[in-house]
Structure 1
């Protein structure tokens, strides 16, 4: 196949600054230590990290025809990502977020919706997009045109062509369940945060959340639990929880996307479920140790070495 993974969905430019303790009054100035631009989003943050981890990655999404798009496309190409399936749309801005990173790593965000709202995947691109053993759809909930029946069609086609489908979403609410549940029978690895899983299912415990989504058709659930680690449950009955790593948190932006990228990379390397979860946790922990959604991730081998040198909780 032409690629190791195709990453479809939400592509955003993040503008991050840290540490932000308050917004200045009137037109005053506060000085901070660091400002950074990154490619982000539930697809953009994933594809950057899969490329850093050594996978031949295809980016599939939409940006505007503006200076923000120039940065997003250029950054991906510098990481060796094939951006030929990215759409540049006239008349709409590239989706972007301003993140004010607090000293504890929290990240209140100001988001401008843009090209991702208008992203659709035409059938003429199917042969390219599905020329990969793993297809990731990320950003359901903020993909206004693609969300719903068009995503069902997309994932059905991915499965018809024999692809393994991984999936994550964003901005989940109880209402988001209406567009997510029909997708589950076509998803091999369902990877939301536990907060998102609870909000959509109405369940409380991680075990009940997993049972809810497995009963609705997902083959496997891999939930991120923040500082409590991550939880894996599949339709064969396998259940396991892995701990988080002990780190000094700088910024939690993109940790879920980094987890997705780590898990996809583990699938590529045919790791078993426990090792896959631990590797995914390590990629997320590396990202939490710096500013932005790909901070501190350098390579597959370096991540394996990082795991040996860091303790879990």
Structure 2
């Protein structure tokens, strides 16, 4: 049976500039190529889930502008079901992205229509209650995330929260989370630790996991090219390395990972297998340029998963 995933989140048009180096504060650098690519963490994760094989519904908002038309078209082409997509007066959300020669990036988001996505109606709640997994991020109003989480709890739907971008969250919202997916900086903010450069230290991982397990039952801590760490309140601790690839653009790699992980979780896969499969999705994504355009299809994920994690004859 096909896994069902509902994504409640943002849709943005990404305005992407390739540059040899990322600018420092106050610095201007000359860029190279420029492109517009449909994105937004919610829309990216919905496309990722659909391409990974789920029946995926997206609940979100876009503006009555050309970007809104393009965002809607991108989601529909990927097979995402859009009965919960709102068209609202005003501009669609945009993200300003710079990507350097090492595939590192800087991102600034202007929410636009996403900020107007404030209410879930009865049809939205019924859809969430009937699906296998609800997946949310934090580029939409927190109250909307809370409404979605409450609907998931009412329907005994698993709630996966990708707490990005980093922001403090209430204990009430965290109590509804089944699986928290964060990077080290986001983890540090939620755990009340130093969110500066020390948050990315490898020896900081146990402290981050312990701090988060005080609030949620399961944590997936993404570590970039190093893979992921997982911990839960039952005492399970896992470290999964990412497949080594030649990265071109890491902009949507985290969204590819999270969308694929939601599908694997909805399918009931063992957690280590789910993490490996999601790591393969993130690595496959990083080999291509752009956000939604780089999200891998299920055969590509399966192929990289088999090469990276399955014993070879």
Shared fold by TM > 0.5?
yes
Q: TM class by shorter-chain length?
A: 0.7 to 0.9
Q: In the superposition, relative to structure 1, how do residues 188 and 311 fare at CA in structure 2: closer, same or farther (>3 Å)?
A: closer
TM-score between the two structures when normalised by the length of structure 1: 0.86
Q: How many residues align?
A: 295
Which structure 1 residue ranges, 4+ long, deviate > 4 Å from structure 2? 19-23, 28-31
Find the residue that maps to 1:71 and give its secondary structure. helix
Partner of 2:145: 151
Find the residue that maps to 1:186 and give its secondary structure. coil
Partner of 1:191: 181
Partner of 1:260: 258
The alpha-carbon deviation at position 200 of structure 1 amounts to 2.7
Partner of 1:10: 10
> In the aligned structure 2, how far is the partner of 1:94 from the partner of 1:2?
31
> In the aligned structure 2, how far is the partner of 1:30 from the partner of 1:183?
41
> In the aligned structure 2, how far is the partner of 1:69 from the partner of 1:147?
22
The alpha-carbon deviation at position 9 of structure 1 amounts to 1.3
Partner of 2:155: 161
Taking the TM superposition and a 5 Å limit, the aligned residue runs for 1:148-297 are 148=143, 150-172=144-166, 176-177=167-168, 179-203=169-193, 205-216=204-215, 218-297=216-295
Taking the TM superposition and a 5 Å limit, the aligned residue runs for 1:106-117 are 106-117=104-115
1:214-244 deviation line (CA, Å, top 9, x unaligned) = 212x121011011221011112111111112
1:82-126 deviation line (CA, Å, top 9, x unaligned) = 112011111x21001132211011112343231111112333231
RMSD of aligned C-alpha atoms? 2.5
TM-score between the two structures when normalised by the length of structure 2: 0.86
Q: In the superposition, relative to structure 1, how do residues 181 and 11 fare at CA in structure 2: closer, same or farther (>3 Å)?
A: farther
Taking the TM superposition and a 5 Å limit, the aligned residue runs for 1:80-95 are 80-90=79-89, 92-95=90-93
Mean Cα deviation higher: 76-85 or 297-306: 297-306
> In the aligned structure 1, how far is the partner of 2:214 from the partner of 2:187?
14
The alpha-carbon deviation at position 273 of structure 1 amounts to 1.0
> In the aligned structure 1, how far is the partner of 2:9 from the partner of 2:244?
31
Find the residue that maps to 1:43 and give its secondary structure. helix
Answer whether contact 2:276 2:309 (CA < 8 A) is retained: no
Answer whether contact 1:11 1:62 (CA < 8 A) is retained: yes
Q: Which runs of 5+ in 1 are unaligned?
A: none
Answer whether contact 2:245 2:283 (CA < 8 A) is retained: yes
Answer whether contact 1:286 1:295 (CA < 8 A) is retained: no
> In the aligned structure 1, how far is the partner of 2:170 from the partner of 2:291?
24
Q: In the superposition, relative to structure 1, how do residues 212 and 31 fare at CA in structure 2: closer, same or farther (>3 Å)?
A: closer
Mean Cα deviation higher: 64-73 or 181-190: 181-190
The alpha-carbon deviation at position 37 of structure 1 amounts to 3.5
